[in-house]
Amino acid sequence: MQEELKIEDLITGNGKVAQRGALITVHYRGYLEDGSEFDCSYKNDAPLQIVLSNKRVIQGWILGLKDMKEGGKRKLWVPAHLAYGERQIGNMIPPNSDLTFEIELLEVLTRD
């Protein structure tokens, strides 16, 4: 049986709501199952701006960030099938890796 996505709101936030297709700006940290950090936008103070769509982010982010509000902070436990599946990502993420993310939603720019 495949594991499901787990979501924990650390801070709820009170701004605009993230939806599929929205342009969002986030700060995040990504961890492997052993707790080692594989990516962090805070290190260079370089928030990620990305469209919340299948072509841009993993399925776990699309499902896990939906309905999140600006100013919110959320922890996601993303099973491998909702992350990169059997693909190896660079030298940092082995195939079939379950991933954990801490994501802070800084801004939501909705499409007109």
For 32-50, the three-class secondary structure string (H helix, E strand, C coil) is: CCCCCEEEECCCCCCCEEE
Identify the pLDDT of residue 73. Answer: 98
Identify the pLDDT of residue 2. Answer: 61
| One pLDDT digit (tens) per residue for the chain, 112 residues | 468 999 999 999 999 999 988 999 999 999 999 999 999 999 989 999 999 987 888 999 999 999 999 999 999 999 999 999 999 999 999 999 999 999 999 999 975 4
The label of the residue with tokens 């909705």 reads 110
Identify the pLDDT of residue 111. Answer: 59
Q: How far is CA 87 from CA 46, 74, 79, 82, in A?
A: 26, 25, 13, 12
Q: What structural domains does the chain harbor?
A: 6-105 (3.10.50.40)
Identify the pLDDT of residue 23. Answer: 94
